[in-house]
Amino acid sequence: MNRKTLFAALACAMLTFSMLGCGTSNHLQSITLGASLINGVPPTGQAGFFSLNGLGGTIQLQAIGNYSSGKTKDLSNEVSYTMIVDPINNVDDNGNPLSAPPQTAQIGVTGLVTATDPAVCTWVNVAVPPATNPAWAYVGDYRVIVTFEGITSQPVYIPVASAAGIPSVTNPTGACGPG
């Protein structure tokens, strides 16, 4: 074997080992589901909870893959999204059952959630006079998870405020929710 062949073989072996990371692996450990934009604005408030406001309103979900190497990767366009009516909070402000997606809310393959017809309000005003301002609680929402390579994210919950709420002494305008 001549020197050029030996050098080429050694270089290839070193390249192969460097690409393998010297025996370490970099596998997906978890997926964190959040929102990157809500109606075109970065999200605020509680993680895992995003209100969908206005008929045609949108929330852009973002799926971040967390790898064993400590690195992260945006998997939003690679994951499979699943949206269902929350089995626990599953009614509108009048006590009617929420419609299954794509009614009221739908999700696209890139994680874009959109409020659709029929419009609903899943928020209720729990303020009691002499209070003068509404105090909001949600009674219905949609639950979203993502899956990729056998890994499932934590759920996020999406109440909907695409219709007017119920007018009252503490909510004279009939607003729906805190948004």
The pLDDT tens digits for 18-75 are 444 444 578 999 999 999 877 778 776 667 889 999 999 999 999 999 999 999 999 9
First-to-last CA distance in the chain? Answer: 75
Run of H or E including 73: strand 72-74
- 53 touches 39 (CB < 8 A): yes
How many residues can be counted in the chain?
A: 179
- 155 touches 34 (CB < 8 A): no
Counting Cα atoms < 13 Å in the Cβ hemisphere of 161 gives 21
Domain boundaries in the chain? 26-161
Average pLDDT over the chain, rounded to an integer: 88
Q: What is the CATH number of domain 26-161?
A: 2.60.40
